[in-house]
Amino acid sequence: MIEAVLWDIDGTLLDSEPYHFKSIVAVCEAHGQTVPKSEYDSLLGRSMAEVYAMLHAVQPMPLDLLGFAKACNDYYITHVADVPARAGALEKVTELAERGVIQACVSNSGRRVVDANIGAIAMPEALRFALSRDDVTHGKPHPEPYLRAAERLGISPSACIVVEDSPIGARAGKAAGMVTIAWPQHKALEFDPVDHLIAELNELDWPAFFR
């Protein structure tokens, strides 16, 4: 029986990925660099360190990783009030909370961004906690973030559902031995095998998971 649902945040609960991309573009352009729109999908779900390494390999960055990450995070946090929830996501969180389902968030973003996102979501009673990339040694696609969340909840990984929008996040959920739901925003994304690949959250019979 499933006991908990673990939500990714960026691109899953919040439609924030375009805003993260805007922050990267803005910081790069401020330092004379360009980021083509074609890079959007390749950066989806990656940690800031991975984003920096990928961009730096193509165009050497005048900022070091810490400076780049701070600038991008500052830009994003300044605009977080503009970031909308993904359609149907917070309604599903509310519905599950009313059923007494345990829920938490597991993100590949740093603590400052996670805290800003959780503040924007404003559902402290429904979401027990939010793990950030800063809380683990290995980020997604490594299973550690999801395993750490299950450990913190005192629940077996096999009794957890993961909801992710990116192949990287879904890979982490499957590696953790959890029921993994891929809910991508972009049809072109290619996923490794997952338990459910959906276009809408309500495609699933959610009560059946908890019987």
- Predicted local confidence at residue 211, as pLDDT: 84
List every span in the chain annotated with CATH 1.10.150: 17-81
**DSSP-assigned beta bridge partners for residue 6:** 104, 162
Specify the pLDDT at position 131: 98
Compute the average pLDDT of residues 92-110: 96
Domain with CATH 3.40.50.1000 in the chain: 4-15+85-209
Q: What is the mean pLDDT of residues 187-204?
A: 93
At 9 the pLDDT is 97
* Assigned CATH class of 17-81: mainly alpha
Least trusted range by pLDDT, from 27-36, 82-91, 178-187: 27-36
More confident residue, 44 or 8: 8
Query: How far are the Cα atoms of 37, 138, 162 from residue 4, in angstroms, in the given order?
Result: 36, 22, 9
Residue range 41-91, pLDDT digits in tens: 788 778 888 889 988 888 888 899 999 999 999 999 999 999 999 999 999
What percentage of residues in the chain have a pLDDT greater than 70? 100
In CATH, what number does 4-15+85-209 get?
3.40.50.1000
Q: Name the band, by pLDDT with cuts 50, 70 and 90, for residue 180.
A: very high
